[in-house]
Structure 1
Amino acid sequence: MTDLLNNLALGFSVAFTTQNLIYAFIGCVLGTLIGVLPGLGPVATIAMLLPATYALPPVAALIMLAGIYYGAQYGGSTTAILVNLPGEASSVVTTLDGYQMARQGRAGPALAAAGIGSFFAGTVGTLVLAAFAIPLTELAFEFGPAEYFSLMVLGLIGAVVLASGSLLKAIAMIILGLLIGMVGTDINSGVARYTFEIPELIDGIGFIVIAMGLFGYGEIIHNLSQPAEQRQVFTAKLKGLFPSRRDFRLMTPAILRGTTLGAILGVLPGGGALLSSFAAYTIEKKTRLAPDEKPFGHGNIRGVAAPEAANNAGSQTSFIPLLTLGIPPNAVMALMVGAMTIHNIQPGPMVMSNNPDLFWGLIASMWIGNAILVILNLPLIGIWIKLLTVPYRWLFPAIVLFCAIGVYSTNNNTWDVWMVGLFGILGYVFIKLGCEPAPLLLGLILGPMMEENLRRALLLSRGDWSVFVTRPLSAGLLVAAVLLLIVVALPSIKKRREEAFAED
């Protein structure tokens, strides 16, 4: 304990220098803007800024890049809540209840719940990073390809529980997501699959293209299909900027659950922070609704607070495998490895002993960064809500334009803009059919990772499929997946689920 306090004191002495505070602030502001602007993700921004960090001291460079990463987690919830556009992959779940709250005039409490949940989870995640980095890394070591495959199976079955409406439709959406995820070049053989000899499909269909099409353009087409007098998205009056006492009573346990889940799953390489937001939402839907509490999918504040807490806690603890093992758990962390390499720092177990000022300075800067984000974001709630007073005839062309610019800027390719339009039409069809697009997105993201880990596990076991049930951790995850499927299929649960999702 004394060692931990001494290390944190060293970290704060490094992070509290004027230079590092300025770069933490720049990173947080940039991250928030990136999260708010649809299409520009932290991966693209960090990749663009990487050469610029060459002139900075190593600690300042990493503090700024880390600020961009967790700032984007905050900002991603803003567009998800206000205009049903997930700015980040992990904000997909936030659209389910956050957007409904905004439509009911409760955008203020939704944004505040996301901000407060994110701050608390970010703080706890950083504490976990400081205290449990080494033991949690040993746990991550236990996860081989078989365990990752089983974890992702559990994640997909969780998505069935997550979806509103028919179970059959939810399963169909997941399968469609898995199929779309297979488009592109096979990672093992290098053969192009399902590309129909279209060169633009060789790299697959990007997440941003599909998310913007299904959520953003799909909603716009649906609105424009309504008579002019019904087109106004936000008909209710705004009811205050901050959550009420009752809201706090409901969201506090949800934030605690989301934080715990995010902190654990964030350690796992391969989208732990993303999985945790879906898992947190699934758990909330499994907990009993309080009297007069809105059903999930109809503007429940817990459906905003829990996933936002989970993805922020996960984004903090995803630094654990990077700093202690040198293994980047996601694309952003892979770029952080690049930033460390530029500064002649070898990521891995030696960082803690060879560069203690960098290791503990980065951890301390995360606390400061989370405080900066809350100070920045909570006063901005009123400004963001002003967006909702803009007439829809002006708002929808702006959304269409920003989406098109955002998508085009990722690959400088007009093909992506056409694809967003195509998926927008598909999104409209899904709305008409009553299909939820969130499971499709999870299938799309997890599909390629599942395939890769399945092949790797079978390669290591020389084609022996029993590897998934002979390894205890893998078998445990598969058993949990089967139990979850049985529970969802039980007639009593099915009936209660249908009642919960009944349209108002």
Structure 2
Amino acid sequence: LMVLGLIGAVVLASGSLIKAISMIILGLLLGQINTDVISGTPRYSFDIPELTDGIGFVVIAMGVFGFGEIIANLGMPAEHREVFTKKVKGLWPTKEDFKEAWPAVLRGTGIGSLLGVLPGGGALLASFAAYTLEKKVAKDPSKFGRGAIQGVAGPESANNAGAQTSFIPMLTLGIPPNAVMALMVGAMTIKGIQPGPQVMSSNPTLFWGLIASMWVGNLMLVILNLPLIGIWIKLLTVPYRFLFPAIVVFCCIGTYTLNNSSFDVYMTALFAVIGYVFYKLKCEPAPLLLGFILGPMMEENLRRALLLSRGDWSTFATRPLSAGLLIAAAIMIITVILPGISGKREAAFQEAD
């Protein structure tokens, strides 16, 4: 499944196929900077203690997407930096907005539902995958980043769906797929509740209470956010010369509070420069994040499977599920490298540019 996700990221990435593959590989390499989960040996840490636990996802995302975008905006003329300079009207979604958004909502919900069960941040992965997919299928991808409603509806739907389906492995198998679910497992254990297949029959009140809370939570989001749209939109009218220093400060505070380490702030600054280089080279950074997330997970499960099979690689082809996923990945690779399809792909993105 993780191999299929990486191949899908390459297929759906906009721009050059070579650049997309390069970003995936770079993400995989960055994911190798950690401590080996089996031998306990630090890898590629260069004797820097802070790197033995690996580079944080937030550090890379904040640097590449946050700071990198700020640097790119500062390189533009002043008149191009402002988002809104006039009074904004018509904040509520129109019928046309709903018409354009609902296909993206359905696609995002499907992606989030599938990827949300993956360990290690399926909801985050689903958001980036949904955004990449929407940009791929859009008639005019140039609108993305400039207010395309599909670029908001798809990732947000995927994030919500992924956050809720992440309960599935915890409640059915007792395996927390992310840090939040790990806290949930701890809380349930403290209360004497054992997560697993029996939780639905032994604690039906808890199970159905969780289901109800998802509905109530989403309803409360609608009730709270829609009336407050006017307040949120006011932030976009703030002049960029005042806005970007505040963004930098809050990003630095958020990065520092992850581990109470100034090293993370320095690493974020480094990835800010890297993100700006990506911007100038027109490399889409989303595949890098997907590779960074899926790489360590793929390595860990690959090594575990080989240990259980005593080094027999044929186990991946003899099991129907793994064989089917590998076949699907192979079909995607063959499809994208076919001259006709590859030419159409490049032409589509050139038109978008």
TM-score normalised by L of structure 2: 0.91
Equivalent residue, structure 2, for 1:167: 17
Matched-pair contact (CA < 8 Å) for 2:45–2:52: yes
Counterpart residue type for residue 326 of structure 1? G
Distance 2:84 2:326 in 1: 43
Equivalent residue, structure 1, for 2:50: 200
Matched-pair contact (CA < 8 Å) for 1:264–1:314: yes
Q: Find the partner of 2:59 among 182, 185, 209.
A: 209
| Paired residues for 1:340-489 under 5 Å | 340-489=188-337
Q: Kindly state the Cα deviation for residue 453 of structure 1 after the two structures are TM-superposed.
A: 0.7
Equivalent residue, structure 1, for 2:123: 273
- 1:323-366 per-residue CA deviation (whole Å, 9 max, x = no partner) reads 23222122211110011112222222332233222222222122
Q: Secondary structure at the match of 1:164?
A: coil
| Paired residues for 1:25-424 under 5 Å | 151-232=1-82, 238=88, 240-281=90-131, 283-284=133-134, 287=137, 289=139, 297=144, 299=146, 300-424=148-272
Q: Kindly state the Cα deviation for residue 416 of structure 1 after the two structures are TM-superposed.
A: 0.8
Counterpart residue type for residue 57 of structure 2? F
Counterpart residue type for residue 455 of structure 1? R
Q: Secondary structure at the match of 2:37?
A: coil
Equivalent residue, structure 2, for 1:493: 341
Distance 1:447 1:455 in 2: 12
Unaligned runs of at least 5 residues, structure 1: 1-150
Q: Kindly state the Cα deviation for residue 266 of structure 1 after the two structures are TM-superposed.
A: 2.7
Q: Kindly state the Cα deviation for residue 260 of structure 1 after the two structures are TM-superposed.
A: 3.0
Distance 1:493 1:235 in 2: 43
Counterpart residue type for residue 38 of structure 2? N
Q: Secondary structure at the match of 2:175?
A: coil
Q: Kindly state the Cα deviation for residue 282 of structure 1 after the two structures are TM-superposed.
A: 5.1
- 1:104-148 per-residue CA deviation (whole Å, 9 max, x = no partner) reads xxxxxxxxxxxxxxxxxxxxxxxxxxxxxxxxxxxxxxxxxxxxx
Q: Kindly state the Cα deviation for residue 213 of structure 1 after the two structures are TM-superposed.
A: 0.6
Q: Kindly state the Cα deviation for residue 235 of structure 1 after the two structures are TM-superposed.
A: 6.8
Counting aligned pairs with the same residue, the percent is 73
CA gap 1:264/1:436 in 2 versus in 1, 3 angstroms: closer
Q: Secondary structure at the match of 1:501?
A: helix
Matched-pair contact (CA < 8 Å) for 1:263–1:310: yes
Q: Kindly state the Cα deviation for residue 384 of structure 1 after the two structures are TM-superposed.
A: 1.2
CA gap 1:460/1:160 in 2 versus in 1, 3 angstroms: same
Distance 1:437 1:288 in 2: 19
Counterpart residue type for residue 154 of structure 2? A
Distance 2:24 2:188 in 1: 37
Distance 2:240 2:325 in 1: 46
Greater RCO, 1 or 2 (C-alpha within 8 Å, sep 6+): 2
Q: Secondary structure at the match of 1:346?
A: coil
Q: Secondary structure at the match of 2:205?
A: helix
Counterpart residue type for residue 207 of structure 2? F
Distance 2:158 2:287 in 1: 18
Matched-pair contact (CA < 8 Å) for 2:85–2:237: no
Distance 2:79 2:304 in 1: 56
Unaligned runs of at least 5 residues, structure 2: none
Q: Kindly state the Cα deviation for residue 283 of structure 1 after the two structures are TM-superposed.
A: 4.8
Query: Comparing 395-404 with 375-384, which one deviates more in the overlay?
Result: 375-384
Q: Kindly state the Cα deviation for residue 249 of structure 1 after the two structures are TM-superposed.
A: 1.7
Equivalent residue, structure 2, for 1:73: none
CA gap 1:442/1:318 in 2 versus in 1, 3 angstroms: same
CA gap 1:461/1:198 in 2 versus in 1, 3 angstroms: same
TM-score normalised by L of structure 1: 0.65
Q: Kindly state the Cα deviation for residue 246 of structure 1 after the two structures are TM-superposed.
A: 2.6
Counterpart residue type for residue 98 of structure 2? F
Q: Secondary structure at the match of 1:379?
A: coil
Counterpart residue type for residue 304 of structure 1? V
Counterpart residue type for residue 108 of structure 2? G
- 1:185-232 per-residue CA deviation (whole Å, 9 max, x = no partner) reads 111111111111111111111011111111111111122233444443
Cα root mean square deviation, aligned: 2.3
Q: Kindly state the Cα deviation for residue 305 of structure 1 after the two structures are TM-superposed.
A: 1.7
Matched-pair contact (CA < 8 Å) for 1:262–1:311: yes
